[in-house]
Amino acid sequence: MHTLTVSPAPTAASSPREGQSLGAGHPLSAGLTSDSALVRALQGYRPEHTPVWFMRQAGRSLPEYRELRSGTRMLEACATPELASEITLQPLRRHGVDAAVFFSDIVVPLSLVGVDVDIVPGRGPVFAQPIRSREDVVRCRAEFTPERLRAALDPIRDAVALTTAELGSTPLIGFAGAPFTLAAYLVEGGPSRDHLRARSLMHSDPETWRELLEWTADLSGVFLQAQVEAGASAVQLFDSWAGSLGAEDYRTHVAPASRRTLDAVRPYRYRDTELEGYTSLDRRVPIIHFAVGSGHLLEELAAVGVSALGVDWRTPLDEASRLLGDVLPLQGNINPAYLDAPQAVLETHLRDVLARGRRAPGHVLNLGHGVPPEADPTVLTRIVEFAHAHRA
C-alpha cells in the first residue's frame, strides 16, 4: 500500500489550515465517494475494475453538448451554474464513466477576477492586455487579487453543488490550469507554438517571472479550493505547455508555483467511517497532475507533491512507473490516434495500456490527452465497457 506524496506546509496566503476537515455533508466525508473505484485507485489501491474517465469528456465531442451550448459563449457557459452542471453530467449519462470532471476552462479564474480575456472559437484564450513587464505584473497582482476571486466564485460553488447532488456515489474531479500555462497565455496574449516570450521573461527577469507565477498559482489554488469545499472528491492540475521546458527550467522556475497551487488544497482531510486498509494519510483529497509532452519531466512533476500522475501517450505506463520507483498511481494513457482505429486494433492497444498500468500501485484509465472534438462518442462508451470488464 502506498500513501500520498506530501509537500511542505502551504505557502499561499489562501491555503486552509493543515489538517482542515471537510464538512460532514461532503461526498467524501459522507462515505458516498470515499470507496469509489476512482478514489481508491488514486490512493494506490486496486478496486474491482480499472476506473476510467476522459479528459475533455464534457464538451465538444458530444452532440447533446453542441446543442446545449448553441448561442452561448464558452466563458458564459462556465459561469452559469445550471449549464455548467448539465454539461458536466452529460458524459456520465452517455458513457458510464467512473468520474465526472467539472466543466470549466483554465482561464475561468482570470475571467471571474476581471481580466479581459475571451475564448475565441478555433483559436483559444485571447487576452486584451498581455503581460510584458514588471509594471504589468504589479498592476495585475494589485487589482486582480485572490480575495477578489474568492468573492466571485459563487457560480462555481453553485455549479459544483448542483452536480454533486446529482452524482451521488460518483466522484467529481475539480479542475484548474497550472501556473506556467496560465502565465504563458498571459505573456503571449494568446496561444503560441513555442511560448518564446514567456520563456524569455523567465530568464531575462526571473524576479518578475516568479511574481507572475505566484499570482497565477494563488488564483488557481483559490479556484481549486472552491471546488473541493463545494463537493469535488479529487482535483487535477492541468499544465498544457510544461512539456516545452527542460527539466532544470521546470525545477527552478515552475515547480515552486505548481506546488504553491496544490498546497491550497493539500491540507483538506475528510471524515469518514472506518474502511478496511485505510490510513489517516489516505483521507486527503486526491491530487492528479498532468502535463502534455512531459515524459522528460515525470520526476519533476511528481516532486511537487501529488497523489497520482497523468502520463501522455508518448511514455508507456510501465516505463513511467519504473522511473518513479513504482510508488505513484498513474493515469492514462490511451493514444487518441487509436480512437479511429478498427475495434480489434483499439482493443489490442487497450489491453497493452491496462497491462502496463498494472506495474503502478494504482491505475486510472484515461486518454493520453483530451478527447478530440471529432471523436465518435460510441467509441468512448466501448472503451469504458472494455475497462469495466477487466479486473484492475
185 is catalytic: yes
Q: What is the pLDDT of residue 279?
A: 63
Residues of the chain with pLDDT under 70: 1-19, 272-281
Residue stretches of the annotated binding site:
56-60, 105, 185, 240, 369
pLDDT confidence of residue 193? 82
User: What pLDDT, on the 0 to 100 scale, is given for residue 13?
Assistant: 43
Q: List the beta strands (DSSP E) in the chain.
A: 100-101, 117-120, 124-127, 172-177, 234-239, 287-291, 308-310, 330-334, 363-367
Whether this model's pTM surpasses 0.85? yes
Which entry of 46, 60, 134, 271 is annotated as an active-site residue? 60
Q: What is the pLDDT of residue 8?
A: 36
- What is the pLDDT at residue 271? 75
Mark whether 69 is an active-site residue: yes
Give me the domains of the chain, ranges plus CATH numbers: 37-388 (3.20.20.210)
- Give pLDDT tens digits for 226-244: 999 999 999 999 998 899 9
Instruction: Determine the 3-state secondary structure of 106 from DSSP.
Output: coil
Q: Give residue 391's pLDDT.
A: 76
Q: Is 56 a catalytic residue?
A: yes
Q: Would strands 117-120 and 124-127 be described as parallel, antiparallel, or unpaired?
A: antiparallel
Annotated binding residues for substrate, as ranges? 56-60, 105, 185, 240, 369
Catalytic residue among 40, 45, 98, 105: 105
- Residues 40, 45, 56, 263: which is the catalytic one? 56
- Catalytic status, residue 141: no
Query: Please, what is the end-to-end C-alpha distance for the chain in angstroms?
Result: 15
What would the pLDDT profile of 2-31 be if each residue is shown by its tens digit?
A: 333 333 333 444 556 666 889 999 999 999
Instruction: Give the pLDDT of residue 90.
Output: 98
The catalytically annotated residue of 40, 65, 98, 185 is 185
In whole angstroms, what is the distance from residue 187 CA to residue 377 CA? Answer: 36
Residue 234, pLDDT score: 98
Distance, in Å, from the CA atom of 302 to the CA atom of 352, rounded to the nearest integer, reads 24
Select which of 35, 46, 69, 382 is catalytic.
69
